[in-house]
């Protein structure tokens, strides 16, 4: 733990993703026991181990709501790389929720943004799970995104396309746009759990935790949230 960390950010340094997932699971279990009903969920490789733990756990989500951060624009829900497909496989098919929400990648912009903001207004998020991009994006809120954004259409940066191309057959197939909950939507969650693993996330984590709070580093806004837990392995914590 670094003494300059903002007091609201609790850093948990873990051995690996497996241990990180167990720490996150316990935080989720505690929140459920305390009455949490709405869970903001993330995609990417980072939360996969947590979803494995959740699938195997005895926590009952059948009366709970899941709201995902983002979705690629242009991918049908059934596309193998859509975040909808990812979530079904990783969690929802095995661990039913009362309702699950993910932006529709083929819906027209204005309708979809309004629909998603209405969902977020109806169901305030109790616990938000986050990963972090190598450029410190959260959700798909790329550097420069206003801290006041709600759901919006995002043009993905080259860096994000490059980082995410491993899931597609080629870089050309990675969508260039996405719908994402905004920074203000994320900050409205009561509790935030961000996980980051590996050396390639070290700089983003350090800037988010110890750097200035600036829109060029989207995750730095977490310094202004009252209840954040950041779970990192040694490599991701190496620049803290």
> Which residues carry out catalysis?
70, 135, 137, 142
Triad 50, 52, 58: Cα angle to 5°: 95
Q: Which helix (H) or strand (E) holds 71?
A: strand 70-72
Q: Which is nearer to ligand GLP, 28 or 186 (CB)?
A: 186
Q: How far apart are CA 145 and CA 138, in angstroms?
A: 10
Q: Angle between the 48-56 and 17-33 helix axes, to the nearest 10 degrees?
A: 50
Position 82 contacts ligand GLP (CB under 6 A): no
Does 218 engage in binding with ligand GLP (CB under 6 A)?
no
Taking CB under 6 A as the rule, does residue 135 contact ligand GLP? Answer: no
Q: Is 105 in the site for ligand GLP (CB under 6 A)?
A: no
Asked whether the beta carbons of 60 and 96 are under 8 A apart, the reply is no
148 scored as a contact of ligand GLP (CB under 6 A): no
Contact 55/28 with Cβ under 8 angstroms? no
Under rule CB under 6 A, which residues in 179-208 are in contact with ligand GLP?
A: none
Choose which of 21, 69, 87, 91 interacts with ligand GLP (CB under 6 A): 69
H helical segments located in the chain: 17-33, 48-56, 83-87, 109-122, 158-164, 183-187, 202-210
Query: Least separation, in Å, of the C-beta of 15 and ligand GLP?
Result: 18
**Residue 140 lies near ligand GLP (rule: CB under 6 A):** yes
> Cα–Cα distance between 179 and 20 in angstroms, integer?
28
Q: Is-contact 40 65, C-beta < 8 A?
A: no
Please report whether residue 219 would count as binding ligand GLP according to CB under 6 A: no
Q: Which is nearer to ligand GLP, 196 or 240 (CB)?
A: 196
Number of residues engaging ligand GLP in binding (CB under 6 A): 14
Indicate whether 103 belongs to the interface with ligand GLP (CB under 6 A): no
Question: Using CB under 6 A as the criterion, which residues of the chain lie in contact with ligand GLP when the complex forms?
Answer: 42-46, 69-70, 131-133, 139-140, 160, 164
């Amino acid at each position: 733990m670094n003494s300059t960390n903002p007091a609201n950010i609790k850093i948990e340094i873990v051995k690996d993703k497996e241990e990180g997932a167990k720490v996150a699971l316990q935080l989720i279990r505690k929140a459920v026991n305390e009455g949490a009903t709405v869970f903001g969920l993330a995609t990417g490789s980072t939360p996969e181990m947590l979803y494995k733990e959740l699938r195997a756990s005895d926590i009952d989500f059948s009366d709970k709501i899941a709201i995902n951060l983002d979705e690629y624009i242009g991918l049908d829900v059934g596309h193998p790389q859509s975040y909808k497909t990812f979530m079904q496989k990783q969690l929802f098919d095995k661990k039913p929720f009362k309702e699950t929400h993910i932006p529709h990648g083929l819906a027209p912009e204005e309708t979809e943004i309004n629909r998603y903001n209405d969902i977020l207004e109806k169901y305030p998020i109790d616990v938000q799970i986050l990963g972090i991009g190598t450029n410190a994006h959260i959700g798909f809120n790329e550097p420069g995104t206003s801290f006041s954004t709600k759901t919006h259409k995002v043009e993905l940066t080259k860096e994000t396309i490059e980082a995410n191309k491993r899931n597609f057959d080629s870089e050309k197939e990675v969508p260039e746009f996405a719908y994402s909950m905004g920074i203000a939507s994320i900050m409205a969650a009561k509790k935030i759990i961000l996980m980051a693993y590996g050396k390639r996330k070290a700089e983003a984590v350090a800037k988010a935790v110890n750097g200035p709070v600036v829109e060029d580093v989207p995750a730095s806004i977490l310094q202004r949230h009252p209840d954040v837990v950041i779970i990192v392995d040694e490599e991701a914590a190496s620049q803290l």
